[in-house]
Amino acid sequence: MRSIIRLVALFTLLVAPLPAAAQLWDWSQTPANNATVDPSINWAEGMPPSAVNDSARATMAGIAKYRDDHSGLVTLTGGPTAYTATTNQGNQSGGISSLVAGYQLCFAPNVANGATDTLAVDSQAAKPIRSQPATELVGGELRPGTPYCVTYFTSNGGEYILNNDMVPAATSLAVGSTPISGGTPNDCLSVNGAGTTLANIACVTTIGASGLLASALGSYEQPINLQLNATAASNQLTFAVVGVNGSNPSSSNPVLVNFRSQTTSNGTAIFGSVQAATSFTLASTSSMGCTTAVICRLWVEMICQTESGGNCTSALVAASVQSNTTQCFPLMENQLQTTGSGTTGGTTINTIFTSASALSNKAIRIIGYVQATWTNGTGWSISAGSAADPSVQVFSPGMHKPCDIVQTAYTSSGANSTTTNNWTSLTTLPTTAMGKSAFSLTVTPTSALNLIEAVTQLQIGPHAGGVAYIAYIVNNSGTAVAASVAGQAGALGSPLFVDYLTQAAAISAQTWQAYFSSTSGTVGLNDNTAGTAMAGGIQNSYLLVKEIMG
């Protein structure tokens, strides 16, 4: 009878439905507490032998579910602010809730998050997802399909804290209706309209929002959110400042420009917020110093017309021409500038013109240049430009300013050389056949409107019977363009210096040469009249070719 009872009990155990498994989070660090904590695993004393394999497999299954809940394979639903998650372990009634301190889950969002997000796991109460305790997400930190891990903490009413280094949320800049100043929240930059303002940062740094932004702008050589447009209409040339979206500046689309302070006793950077349509137009009669019918580079500047309270409260667009074929004038942003008379431009080179006449002691910022052509009796037209030499260029870090050296080529030698080729026509520059080439250099200009300066110094003198001697520069066409002449000054002669400046005219390679000659007899280069190098070859002659930003 007892045998029959045992068989019935065993049959009842085998055919009974398996109990639901508990989460791994229900397991205890105390071994004795794990005898019956998980209904699917029976490690109790006196357990039947037939339960061993079931308990081992159930243990493996529990670990596998835990693994998959930490691999990022759980895909969230809902969103973009209220997410839900169904885990592999699940939440069992009567067991420990999933909302226990230290609970972890790795998931992939189905959609990007908005601001102030929550997560409900296995139908438990929704709790905030936060970047750190009590700090809400602002939107854009969670990207679809990207795995993230959270840990549950009971602080602040319960919250899921992200374990990852998050991708920063995409931000947009919005500025109040007045130029930013003073460090008050209404005048500060806002992030996605979520209330995070530069004033909050200023409270920590104590330098104020205005000072913080001016310092940030001061580290850049170009304005922020600026596009430079140029148009030629009715033979007039107009320069306009717009936002990078092509629309006129406004309170929601400001162009931010930094200047040096107009207070010369300090080195503080100030900034202006351009929030309205801003342009400057040259009249058809305003040549700006350009040669008629020859392409010309006009530098475009912003002028701080009015400075108040550490800010530029009024800014103007201006223009100037800084070079021609014989001169180059630097455009100094570190110096306060004076503008020319008139409001539609002028006719002189190296003069800044703007829509306000005769300003003085004003800070400027170079914002770019425009390449255009002025024709006497007609007016302005914009040149086509090319990929290598655009007609409109916004100024950016690394760009050269007027008169900057763009590239340099140099060669020198102390070796001696002679020629019997003579310069016979003393009223005109010699040809290449009347002398001998001492040096040759090839350069490729980066812009047709840049300048080329060729400089040579040749140590020449009579070798045998020379009466007068000449050093001259020959251009890419093989034509002498500049020279220096000296009479016989002694057996060793003297150095002759020649300097020539011209416009590059093209962006193709061009070769420049230094020649020497005499009116009769033999002339020597670095020669001591005895047929050997002067001073043992340490007395050098040279040729230098520079490209200069025009």
Q: pLDDT tens digits, residue range 116-149? A: 999 999 889 999 999 999 999 988 899 999 999 9
Pairing of strands 451-464, 494-503: antiparallel
Structural tokens at position 272: 């202006």
Rounded to an integer, the average pLDDT of 418-442 is: 92
Q: What is the mean pLDDT of residues 398-426?
A: 92
Q: Cα torsion at 85, 23, 12, 49 (round to 10°)?
A: 140
* Amino acid symbol at 213: L
Check residue 113 and give its pLDDT. Answer: 93
Contact 285, 313 (CB under 8 A): no
Percentage of the chain lying above the pLDDT 90 cut: 55
Bond from prior residue into 80 cis (ω within 30 degrees of 0): yes
Rounded Cα distance between 382 and 372, Å, is 4
Mean pLDDT value of segment 155-183: 59
User: 240: Cβ–Cβ under 8 A, 6 or more apart, which residues?
Assistant: 228, 229, 230, 231, 277, 278, 279, 317
First-to-last alpha carbon distance for the chain, in angstroms, is 115
And the tokens for 189? 């930059």
Range among 14-23, 163-172, 495-504 rated most confident? 495-504
458 contacts: CB under 8 Å, gap ≥ 6: 438, 471, 495, 496, 498, 514, 516, 525, 541
**Cα 478 from chain centre:** 43
Separation between Cα atoms, residue 546 and residue 473, nearest integer Å: 14
Provide the whole-model pTM: 0.62
Average pLDDT over every residue of 78-97? 77
> What was the pLDDT predicted at 463?
62
Q: What is the pLDDT of residue 385?
A: 80
Quick one: angle between helices 209-218 and 198-205, nearest 10? 90
More confident residue, 198 or 486: 486
Does residue 211 surpass a pLDDT of 70? Answer: no
Please give the average per-residue pLDDT across 527-544, as a whole number.
74
Q: Is 33 left (phi over 0), alpha (psi -120 to 50) or beta?
A: alpha
Domain boundaries, the chain: 20-170, 177-218, 227-394, 405-548
Q: What is the pLDDT of residue 435?
A: 95
DSSP string, 394-449: E--TTPPPTT-EEEEEEEEE---EEE--B---TTSPPPGGGSEEEEEEEE--S-TT
Q: How confident is the model at residue 165 (pLDDT cuts 50, 70, 90)?
A: low
Find the angle CA(295)-CA(297)-CA(303) to the nearest 5 degrees.
150
pLDDT above 70: residue 166: no
- Please give the average per-residue pLDDT across 67-77, as a whole number: 91
The CA distances from residue 480 to 458, 511, 547, in Å, are 15, 12, 19
| Residue at token pair 């009634």 | 93
Higher pLDDT, 196 or 259: 259
| pLDDT (0 to 100) of residue 528 | 72
Mean pLDDT along residues 404-408 = 97
Q: Which residues contact 2 (CB under 8 A, 6 or more apart)?
A: none
Contact 279, 235 (CB under 8 A): no
Strands 353-354 and 311-320: antiparallel
> How many C-beta neighbours within 10 Å does residue 105 have?
22
Topology at the third CATH level for domain 405-548: Jelly Rolls (2.60.120)
More confident residue, 387 or 148: 148
The better pLDDT of the pair 47, 517 is held by: 517
* Strand ranges across the sheet with 436-443: 436-443, 510-518, 468-474, 480-487
d(CA 211, CA 176) in angstroms, rounded, equals 16
What is the band of 386 on the pLDDT scale with cuts at 50, 70, 90?
Answer: confident
Question: How high is the mean pLDDT of the chain?
Answer: 82
More confident residue, 533 or 215: 533
- pLDDT tens digits, 273-322: 999 999 999 999 999 999 999 999 999 999 999 999 889 999 999 999 99
Query: CA 72 to CA 106: how far, in whole Å?
Result: 5
Mapped onto helix, strand or coil, the DSSP state of residue 133 is: coil
Enter the tokens of residue 263. Answer: 């207070």
pLDDT at 230 over 90: yes
Quick one: DSSP state of residue 534? G
- Strand locations in 488-534, DSSP E? 494-503, 510-518, 522-525
CB atoms within 10 A of CB 196: 16
Out of 251-260, 519-528, 530-539, which region has the weakest mean confidence (pLDDT)? Answer: 530-539
**Would you say residue 444 has pLDDT above 50?**
yes
pLDDT: is 534 or 334 the higher one? 334
User: If pLDDT is split at 50, 70 and 90, which confidence band does 178 have?
Assistant: very low
Residue 533 is predicted with a pLDDT of 67
Selected residue with higher pLDDT from 128 and 89: 128
Q: Which of 327-336, 435-444, 491-500 has the lowest mean pLDDT?
A: 491-500
The amino acid sitting at 469 is: Y
Amino acid at 370: V
pLDDT at 205: 35
Residue 46 has pLDDT above 70, yes or no: yes
- Band of the pLDDT at 182, cuts 50, 70, 90? very low
**pLDDT higher than 90, residue 487:** no
Once rounded to an integer, what is the mean pLDDT over residues 522-534? 75
Best CA proximity match to 116, nearest among 173, 195, 203: 195
In this model, does residue 93 exceed pLDDT 50? no
Mean pLDDT of 337-364: 97
